[in-house]
Amino acid sequence: MFVIRKATVKDIPLIRQLTFAIWPQTYTQLLTKEQIEYMLQLIYSETSLQKQMEIDGCTFIIIYEDNKPVAFASYSQTKPQVWKLNKIYVLATQQGKGTGKFIINFIVEEIKQQNAKALQLQVKRDNPAQDFYKKIGFTVIETADFDIGNGYFMKDYVMELSL
């Protein structure tokens, strides 16, 4: 059974611990080692995570199974009635157990209470995770390249789940 807890700045070390356990396995085949290191520093430094929580309005959640942290996610409102799933990362040992679907269902129920009509996300165009998103109802609404600095681009699909 999964338990979800909203994270605070005190949870930043745990979020970073999960990130460093998940990212290398997730992105080694998709990104260069240099780009992974750059993005980890850009997005997952303690300062960046604190800014995301306190200034950017991102809600972070941590998912537990048997009292052990197994995943985390982040979401925020981007436009009236439109929310974005900024991050969803699940330990490799948890994949295929319904963890990701459980997380997205939780977020959907949370944002519906805020009158959300859509949940959007970005996924790397060659990331197999897009198949998971399609399976649970997301559709591609845009193909976009995002300049993240240092000569790196995120070549993504923007996907949307209508609520």
Give 73: exposed, middle or buried? Use CB within 10 Å, 0-12, 13-18, 19+: buried
Both tokens assigned to 72 = 């985390």
Cα distances (angstroms) measured from residue 54 to each of 33, 47, 48, 130, 142? 30, 10, 10, 29, 29
Find the helix or strand (DSSP H, E) in which 85 lies: strand 82-90
Give 13: exposed, middle or buried? Use CB within 10 Å, 0-12, 13-18, 19+: exposed
What is the SS3 assignment for 98? Answer: coil
Sign of torsion, CA 109 101 120 43? positive
* Residue that is written with structure tokens 């930043």 in the block: 12
Q: Domains of the chain, with CATH numbers?
A: 2-162 (3.40.630.30)
Position 23 scores a pLDDT of 87
> Could you list the pLDDT tens digit for every one of the 163 residues in the chain?
899 999 999 999 999 999 999 988 888 888 888 998 999 999 999 999 999 999 999 999 999 999 999 999 999 999 999 999 999 999 999 988 999 999 999 999 999 999 999 999 999 999 999 999 999 999 999 999 999 999 999 899 999 999 9
Cα distances (angstroms) measured from residue 61 to each of 24, 28, 54, 82? 21, 25, 14, 19
Position 95 scores a pLDDT of 86
Adjacency order of strands within the sheet including 59-65: 2-6, 59-65, 68-79, 82-90, 118-124, 152-162, 139-149
Q: 66: phi > 0 → left, psi -120 to 50 → alpha, else beta; which?
A: left
Contacts of 45 (CB under 8 A, 6+ apart): none
Q: 98: phi > 0 → left, psi -120 to 50 → alpha, else beta; which?
A: left
